[in-house]
Amino acid sequence: MKLLTIKAGPLTTVQDQGRFAAAHLGFPPSGAMDQYHYRLANWLVGNVAEEPCLELTLSGGWWRAEGEVTAALCGAPMAMEVNGHSQPLNTSFRLESGDELRIGPCHQGWRAYLALGGAWDVPRPWGSASVHLASGVGERLRAGEGIAVGSRPSGPPRTLPGHLLRRVEAQRPCILRFASGPEWHHLTLTSQRYFQQQAYTLLPQSDRMGARFQAQEALATSGFEMLSSPVLPGIIQLPPSGQPIVLLRDAQTVGGYPRLGKVAEVDLNRLAQLRPGEEVRFLPIGWDEMARLKGWEERIFEALFGLGRPKG
């Protein structure tokens, strides 16, 4: 089966759980920015959690099915139609050969995930299909290109259980829980207080590499020399401007700015849905609580996919 692209959105790319076998070569993990909705989309179509999806940023696109496939859309609410008839999010549906799928722009949130049931026939350099535009690993989807997916018998339609639904606009300002990092103690006491008390605005310069923030009071360190050190998604860096950056899925693997802390992975999914101009606040937690939050979400998916893995 192939899903042929008639018109693609401004930034539609193939993404999965990420590329973790090439960090020593300087490649970031990449992968779906909102891992929560990405995995839910795969569950809806009966895939394993690691199967690629299309990440739709700001707007969807227009496709024609060349064959039969089960599909589902999760994440930012985008209006979706099949042959001109409205189709809800968070529910799997069947595309027949010749059907046309149209997905419009989102007016809340930032990203949605289109899953197709079956094994995706896409390149997987270093074990991942995730596109990383800066290094030339893959490209954004363009008109005329197709996504080939192995055929699989369709099962009954699936709808997300109510307790798993998360409205992308539910919590404003967005609370980002973080644990202190190696250079936290180099912040002045006044700056530590500012960081935890003031609201930060997400800037338009943000992208898949990092979320850039600005607040009224810039932060300052006590002055020290720092060598380049390892970084990963979720790390909060403090550049000379005194305004923090939260590194995201396409961030570099080493950096020379102070690492104030690390944002909880479960909150990075919420951050991935914020629009420029929206506000966040940083809430300190311990590393034990960070691990507990991660374990809690992983148990949700273990239970979900343990009961719903495709057979054969």
CATH number, domain with residue 185: 2.40.100.10
| pLDDT confidence of residue 309 | 46
The reply to whether 265 and 291 lie within a common domain is yes
The reply to whether 122 and 190 lie within a common domain is no
- Which of 139, 168, 197 is the C-terminal boundary of a domain? 168
Who wins on pLDDT, 61 or 225? Answer: 61
- Structural domains in the chain (count): 2
Give domain status of residue 308, yes or no: no
Average pLDDT over residues 29-57: 97
The reply to whether 118 and 223 lie within a common domain is no
Q: What residues contact 32, with CB distance under 8 A and at least 6 apart?
A: 15, 16, 17, 18, 38, 53, 55, 113, 130, 249
Place of tokens 């535009």: 133
Copy the structure tokens of residue 98.
């010749």
- Which of 168, 203, 228 is the C-terminal boundary of a domain? 168
Nearest to 238 by CA among 252, 256, 265: 256
The reply to whether 190 and 140 lie within a common domain is no
Average pLDDT over residues 131-155: 92
The reply to whether 222 and 102 lie within a common domain is no
Q: Which domain holds residue 284?
A: 174-298
Give domain status of residue 305, yes or no: no
The reply to whether 23 and 161 lie within a common domain is yes
Give domain status of residue 114, yes or no: yes
Reading across the β-sheet that carries 93-95, which strands appear in turn? 11-15, 53-57, 111-116, 69-75, 93-95
Question: Strand 174-180 relative to strand 279-284: parallel, antiparallel, unpaired?
Answer: parallel
| pLDDT confidence of residue 168 | 65
Judge contact between 96 and 65, C-beta under 8 A.
yes
Nearest to 76 by CA among 269, 234, 280: 269
Give domain status of residue 310, yes or no: no
pLDDT digits (tens, 9 = 90+) for 194-220: 999 999 999 999 999 999 999 999 999
The reply to whether 149 and 204 lie within a common domain is no
Helix (H) or strand (E) holding 95, with range, is: strand 93-95
AA identity, residue 262: K
Cα dihedral sign for 26, 30, 35, 40?
negative
Which residues are registered as beta bridge partners of 283? 177
Q: Is the pLDDT of residue 311 over 80?
A: no
The reply to whether 133 and 182 lie within a common domain is no
Q: What residues contact 267, with CB distance under 8 A and at least 6 apart?
A: 174, 175, 176, 177
Who wins on pLDDT, 104 or 21? Answer: 104
pLDDT digits (tens, 9 = 90+) for 75-122: 999 999 999 999 999 999 999 999 999 999 998 999 999 999 999 999
Average pLDDT over residues 31-55: 97
Give domain status of residue 37, yes or no: yes
- Which of 168, 195, 227 is the C-terminal boundary of a domain? 168
| Three-class secondary structure of residue 303 per DSSP | helix
| pLDDT confidence of residue 310 | 44
Helix (H) or strand (E) holding 290, with range, is: helix 287-308
Place of tokens 């992208």: 207
Q: What residues contact 234, with CB distance under 8 A and at least 6 apart?
A: 246, 247, 262, 263, 264, 265, 268
Rounded Cα distance between 12 and 61, Å, is 8
| pLDDT confidence of residue 209 | 98
Chain Cα centroid distance, residue 150: 25
The reply to whether 27 and 156 lie within a common domain is yes
Average pLDDT over residues 261-282: 97
The reply to whether 194 and 118 lie within a common domain is no
Reading across the β-sheet that carries 146-148, which strands appear in turn? 85-86, 78-82, 100-106, 59-66, 2-8, 146-148
Who wins on pLDDT, 163 or 45? Answer: 45
The reply to whether 135 and 233 lie within a common domain is no
Q: Is the pLDDT of residue 308 over 60?
A: no
The reply to whether 157 and 250 lie within a common domain is no
